[in-house]
Amino acid sequence: MRLTVLDRGHRLPARLFFGFTGLVSRVPMSDVPKTLLYRPDFFGAVFLDLSAKAMRGPSFWTAGEREYLAKRTAERLQCPYCAVTHTELVRIAGDPSPLRQELLAALSFLDDLTPPDLPRDAAVDALNVSLIWQVVNRLANAFGFRLLPGQLESGTRSLHRFGYRFPRFLTGPGEGSTAELRRAVLEAPAHTPPELRRAAAAGDAWGSYAATVRTASHRITDEDVERLKHDHTEDEIFEVTVAAAVGVGAALDHQEKGLEVLGG
């Protein structure tokens, strides 16, 4: 990964968890958990709760259909890491092919946000899946997630088996709601001021960096992040990148526009 803190900057409970699971599976922890369990009070706790609800909570969609929606989101945002991961999760959770008409309608709705021929709860559930993976895809691209040997098989099996949930001793309390996600990432005290994170959420921070994370995260390079390190700490880069991935014009904005189409 492009930020050292996401590899080696975790608190003791997370380090112990990574070590234990590595001994059991003989595979090092993959980049998504390492990112979401880094400073979970800032972002990960709320986001992981949202993820578990969206991907394995009660839903109009089967687990396999939700994984298919996630895969298509990764393809749309040009995130190879997530596309490969969710292709495997589709296989594990249950390939929904041939796709039922409702799923085709949901895919079209997520692409263009025009009124779908779907029950409202089905459309909202699809938006919730999209929200999660729009954030993760942007972070994966910006932070340079990579799959090491064995991680795809081990990580996807664990995600499916445990329903995207991690032990509370790793995350602490985190009530998964979009309002709480917005508050935690854009308003709560952190290394960077809220004004900077709100600007990043709107794509207006650190030259073109925040805007690129928001609209074309696949174009972020190692060199882009290395240049930022000359003027900013890794924690500051982490916070600004998360804010850009979550914020206006990105994941939350897409969901809010979708809900407006559905009538609020």
Q: Is residue 26, in this structure, part of any structural domain at all?
A: no
Q: Is residue 147, in this structure, part of any structural domain at all?
A: yes
How many angstroms separate the CA atoms of 33 and 148, rounded?
Answer: 14
Q: Is residue 11, in this structure, part of any structural domain at all?
A: no
Complete DSSP assignment for 209-232: HHHHHHHHGGG--HHHHHHHHTTS
Higher pLDDT, 230 or 249: 230
Residue 250 has pLDDT above 90, yes or no: no
Q: Is residue 1, in this structure, part of any structural domain at all?
A: no
Radius of gyration, alpha carbons of the chain? 18
Task: List, in order, residues 6 or more apart from 195 with CB less than 8 Å away.
Answer: none
How many angstroms separate the CA atoms of 246 and 182, rounded?
Answer: 8
Residue 18 has pLDDT above 70, yes or no: yes
What confidence category does residue 32 fall into, taking pLDDT thresholds of 50, 70 and 90?
very high
Mean pLDDT of 242-252: 87
Q: Is residue 2, in this structure, part of any structural domain at all?
A: no
Q: Is residue 16, in this structure, part of any structural domain at all?
A: no
Q: What is the pLDDT of residues 142-167, one digit of tens each?
A: 999 999 999 999 999 999 999 999 99
Is the separation of the CB atoms in 115 and 259 below 8 Å? no
Is the separation of the CB atoms in 143 and 22 below 8 Å? no
Mean pLDDT of 217-227: 98
Q: Is residue 20, in this structure, part of any structural domain at all?
A: no
Mean model confidence pLDDT for the chain: 95
**Range of weakest confidence among 87-91, 131-135, 178-182, 190-194:** 178-182
Q: What is the pLDDT of residues 173-206, one digit of tens each?
A: 767 799 999 999 999 999 999 999 999 999 999 9
Residue 249 has pLDDT above 70, yes or no: no
How many angstroms separate the CA atoms of 34 and 18, rounded?
Answer: 9
Q: Which domain holds residue 252?
A: 32-166+173-261
Is the separation of the CB atoms in 174 and 58 below 8 Å? no
Residue 172: predicted pLDDT? 80
Q: Token pair for residue 70?
A: 């996630």
How many angstroms separate the CA atoms of 15 and 29, rounded?
Answer: 10
Residue 264: predicted pLDDT? 67
Report the domain count for the chain.
1
**Range of weakest confidence among 51-65, 86-100, 161-175, 179-193:** 161-175
With pLDDT > 70 as the criterion, what percentage of the chain qualifies? 98
Mean pLDDT of 16-22: 95
Q: Is residue 191, in this structure, part of any structural domain at all?
A: yes
By C-alpha distance, which of 242, 51, 14 is closest to 162? 51
Is the separation of the CB atoms in 258 and 109 below 8 Å? yes
